């Protein structure tokens, strides 16, 4: 069975730059973060703190640009959740993927992500990352809490640390699932290649209006 495919430019250069820088920074922060948490000794506590904090600031700058990019280009629309195709996508992962059924979803410039991805990435962007950011920034500015009136509200370092670690575990969960699910393309490396080059091969007949 040979599908007729076309190459479409799915991920723009900034998107790819954002994705990979973020990936490196998050993994670096996970490694140093769990060292700071006391799970193991790798860089030494002081160095781990430095790497963690510098990475955090770099990521914050990156995210400011990324949020701006999402809003100005309308890219945020790719993360608006939809019911359409959601059941098929879930069924595909539970059944079709084993029987060799065709992918129910194919990326297009209008919809880069399948309905499950939309939900997962949205949760990542509006829940996990804000959670780890908010707790992380509070952690970082611990000594200003009194001036901000947070101490009176009963906020403690312990609470913030627990939330931060909890969010870190959630992010790790996401990472494991993400690393696995990107292997579920037509070939194991299809999606990874797309994120590196920006170009993805999509079946022609699947698009309603093939752009030949």
Partner 1 sequence: MTLHYSELPARKGRRFCFVGLLLIGLFSAVPVVAAPTADHSQFDALQVPFSDIEQINAACVGCHNVAEDQLHKTLHWQWDIALENGEQYGKLNVINAYHPNIASNSQACGSCHIGFGLAKKITDGIAPAAVDCLACHDTSGEYFYFRFHQDGAECAMCHDDGADAMKQRVKTQGEKYTLSLRAMAQSTGATSTATCGSCHFYDGGADGAKHGDLDSSLFDADFAVDVHMSADGADFTCSSCHQSIDHQLFGSRYQAHSVGDDQGVSALTGARATCVSCHGDRPMQDDKLNDHTDVIACQTCHIPTYARGGIATKTKWDWSTAGELNRSKRPKVEVNSAGRVSYASQKGHMEYGENLKPVYRWFNGAMVFKAPGAEVNSDGVTLINEIQGSSQDGISKIFPFHQITSILPYDTQSQQLMPMNLAGRSRDAYWNGYNWPKSLKAGAKAAGIEFSGNFDFTVSQMSWPLNHSVAPKEQALSCNACHGATSDGLLDEVEGLYIPGRRQHAWLDRYGVLALLLTFLGVAGHGTLRAYFGWRRKQL
Q: Report the interface residues with partner 1, using CB under 8 A.
A: 35-41, 44-46, 48-49, 53, 93, 97-100, 142-143, 146, 151, 156-158, 161-162, 165-166, 169, 172-173, 176-177, 180-181, 183-184
Closest Cα partner for 172 from 30, 36, 41? 30
Closest to 27 measured CA to CA, from 39, 19, 16: 19
Nearer to partner 1, 14 or 45 (CB): 45
Least spacing, CB of residue 184 vs partner 1, in Å: 8
Q: Least Å distance between CB 35 and partner 1?
A: 7
| Closest among 23, 200, 29, 52 to 124, alpha carbons compared | 23
Provide the residue count of the chain: 212
CB closer to partner 1 out of 13 and 98: 98
* Closer of 69 and 145 to partner 1 (Cβ): 145
Nearer to partner 1, 113 or 178 (CB): 178
The residue among 45 and 199 lying less far from partner 1, judged by its C-beta, is 45
Least separation in angstroms between residue 165's CB and partner 1 is: 6
Q: CA 203 to CA 107: how far, in whole Å?
A: 9
Within 8 A by CB and 6+ apart from 184, the residues are 93, 97, 191
Rounded distance, CA 98 to CA 6, Å? 25
Closest distance to partner 1 from the beta carbon of 66 (Å): 26
Closest approach, Cβ 101 to partner 1, in A, equals 11
**Integer Cα distance of 29 and 56 in angstroms:** 8
């Amino acid at each position: 069975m040979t599908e007729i495919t076309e190459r479409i430019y799915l991920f723009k250069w900034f998107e790819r730059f954002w994705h990979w820088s973020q990936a490196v920074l998050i993994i670096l922060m996970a490694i140093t973060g769990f060292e700071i948490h006391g799970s193991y000794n790798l860089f030494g506590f002081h160095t781990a703190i430095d790497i963690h904090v510098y990475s955090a600031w770099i990521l914050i700058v990156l995210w400011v640009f990324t949020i701006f990019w999402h809003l100005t280009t309308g890219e945020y629309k790719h993360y608006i959740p939809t019911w359409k195709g959601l059941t098929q996508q879930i069924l595909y992962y539970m059944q079709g993927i084993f029987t060799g059924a065709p992918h129910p979803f194919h990326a297009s410039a209008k919809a880069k992500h399948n309905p499950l991805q939309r939900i997962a990435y949205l949760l990542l962007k509006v829940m996990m990352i804000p959670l780890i950011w908010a707790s992380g920034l509070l952690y970082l500015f611990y000594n200003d809490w009194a001036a901000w009136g947070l101490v009176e509200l009963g906020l403690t370092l312990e609470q913030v640390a627990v939330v931060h670690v909890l969010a870190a575990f959630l992010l790790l969960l996401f990472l494991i699932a993400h690393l696995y699910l990107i292997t579920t393309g037509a070939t194991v490396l299809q999606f990874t290649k797309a994120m590196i080059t920006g170009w993805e091969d999509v079946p022609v007949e699947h698009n309603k209006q093939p752009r030949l």
